[in-house]
Amino acid sequence: METLLAEFDFTGWWLRPFSERWWQETVCCMLVGVTCGVLGCYVVLRRMALIGDALSHAVLPGVVIAFLITHDTGVFGLLAGALLAGVLTAVLVGAISRLSRTKEDSSIGIVFTALFAIGIILVSALPRGLHFDLNCFLFGDPLAVDTADLLLMAVICPLVLGIVFLLYYPLRASSFDPVVAAAMGIPVVVLHYLLMGMLSATVVAGLKTTGVILVVALIITPASAAYLLTNRLGTMMLLSGLFGGLSAVAGMSLSFVTNWPSGATMVVFAATIFTLVLLLSPTEGLLTRSLQRKRIRRHIQGEDILKTLYRFVAKNAEPEQHMCSMEQIYPAARVTRRQAERIVAELEQEGLLYRKAANIGLTESGVDRAIEMVRSHRLWESYLTEHAGVSADEVHEQAEELEHVHDLADKIDQHLGHPERDPHGEAIPPPPKSSS
């Protein structure tokens, strides 16, 4: 970083991010982000999040031993060591939980911490003159990315993505229903270890970008965000890859400007995307759903006010000609005065009622809507007593809620054979002319 700062050119500083070196680092991170995102879909769906974390830690002894043998951080040596350690983790975890009563998450915890500990001891016991940068391994350092690393990622990432694409159908089938997939002859165990291997390889490729501690975030977070947005696996993988790549590029850019650690910045970006999706997803977002509930509640309150108004003025031959005051309405409609003011203003805009001085009256379409409500209420009451065994004195409360589903009123009417009176003996009005 110091060298970069020394070269800092104030006239062209905003062009700085587009230097060759920045490109190298960013392309690297983006490749890793996309691959982690796509592969992460299987990790999330197969509930292997913990094993993703485990793999990233467990590759340490493999990496250190490879370093001991080759005496440098040559990428292919590291990759081989890490792959071995990754597959060893998967095999050990499987063996321990199969051969004993140890639960799978516990065996994962035991295996990866043990391997990681061995790795730390190995690092401390390295012969003189060899320096292994544990810090870079733990926290990542994209600035240490060189052409060889870029080459490694340029090989691994397309390879992994290609395998995931080619094996899409058997992988999907064995992730959804491993037992039936096995019965079909799909080699589910081989596919499981293949996924583990690809995950280890991706983790190693991503080592220098985020470090082992945070790389699991690039695997799980974009995939979880995508999972909330779609009902199709293919779409989920596309979105997840996009989120992963986006987090990497955005994280790199921001960290360049602010001088924050780039791995951490990427992860924070990924988490931000997840949070936004969690809140705003069009179907399942927490905020979206609460707004929806609020809209429905307002709709119901509005209809209650219309009905109350109608009850006050219906005794007259020409309901449109009669009015009543706010004080009469809001207690009867079970809303507060302030809510009533707001709702009345809204209904006025919709043309369902009108105001003259302090008084409120129904317009013609307001009367129609109110009749629809009354009709729906009484039909529901009839339906509930006849078909759901609700007694006549309890039926009102339930119908009070159901009446707002007035789209079904005509169906009920037909189903009940066009009854004329509800269980309380009140007349069920015919549907208003304008609405049918």
Partner 1 sequence: MNKTLEPSPSSTSNVPLQTRNLSVSYAGRSVLRSVSFQLSAGTLTGIVGPNGAGKSTLLRAVLGLIPTDTGEVTLFGSSVTKNRPRIGYVPQKQSVDWDFPVTVLDVVRMGRLARKTGWGLLFGRPNAEDRQAAWEALEQLGLHQLADRHIRQLSGGQQQRVFLARALCQQADIYLLDEPLTGVDAGTEETIFSLIDQLKKETKTILLVSHDLSILTRLDQIMLLDRRIVAMGPPQQVATEENLRKTYGGRLSLLDEAEAELMRMK
Find out whether 203 and 82 touch, Cβ atoms under 8 Å: yes
Binding region for partner 1 (CB under 8 A) out of 15-23, 228-236, 355-363, 416-424: 228-236
Report the half-sphere exposure of 397 (CA within 13 A, side-chain side): 4
Shortest Cβ distance from residue 75 to partner 1 (Å)?
29
Shortest Cβ distance from residue 82 to partner 1 (Å)?
25
Nearer to partner 1, 69 or 286 (CB): 286
The CA-based angle 181-185-191, given to 5 degrees, is 65
**CA separation for the pair 216, 242 (Å, rounded):** 17
Taking the alpha carbons of 232, 235, 237, 242 in that order, is the dihedral positive or negative?
Answer: negative
Binding region for partner 1 (CB under 8 A) out of 66-74, 81-89, 163-171, 267-275: 163-171
| Interacting residues with partner 1 between 375 and 414 (CB under 8 A) | none
**CA separation for the pair 230, 334 (Å, rounded):** 40
Shortest Cβ distance from residue 168 to partner 1 (Å)?
9
Q: Is 231 in the site for partner 1 (CB under 8 A)?
A: yes
Work out which of 177, 327, 394, 401 binds partner 1, going by CB under 8 A. Answer: 177
Shortest Cβ distance from residue 120 to partner 1 (Å)?
36
Q: Is 185 in the site for partner 1 (CB under 8 A)?
A: yes
Structure-token match 């340490």, residue found: 60
Q: Which residues pair with 324 in a beta bridge?
A: 360
Nearer to partner 1, 244 or 261 (CB): 244
Nearer to partner 1, 224 or 376 (CB): 224
Most distant CA pair in the chain: distance in Å? Answer: 104
**CA separation for the pair 404, 295 (Å, rounded):** 13
Provide the residue count of the chain: 436
Q: Is 172 in the site for partner 1 (CB under 8 A)?
A: yes
The CA-based angle 267-176-225, given to 5 degrees, is 25
| Interacting residues with partner 1 between 197 and 226 (CB under 8 A) | none
Work out which of 115, 233, 250, 340 binds partner 1, going by CB under 8 A. Answer: 233
Shortest Cβ distance from residue 100 to partner 1 (Å)?
10
Q: Is 94 in the site for partner 1 (CB under 8 A)?
A: no
Work out which of 167, 249, 326, 332 binds partner 1, going by CB under 8 A. Answer: 167
Find out whether 80 and 204 touch, Cβ atoms under 8 Å: no
Distance from CA of residue 131 to its chain's centroid?
42
Work out which of 91, 148, 166, 257 binds partner 1, going by CB under 8 A. Answer: 166
Tokens of 99: 């051969």
Find out whether 220 and 49 touch, Cβ atoms under 8 Å: yes
Q: What is the pattern of x (binds partner 1, CB under 8 A) and - over residues 287-306?
A: --------------------
The CA-based angle 252-254-260, given to 5 degrees, is 85
Nearer to partner 1, 77 or 222 (CB): 222
Q: Is 238 in the site for partner 1 (CB under 8 A)?
A: no
Which residues bind to partner 1, rule: CB under 8 A? 45, 166-167, 169-170, 172-173, 175-177, 179-187, 227, 230-233, 235-236
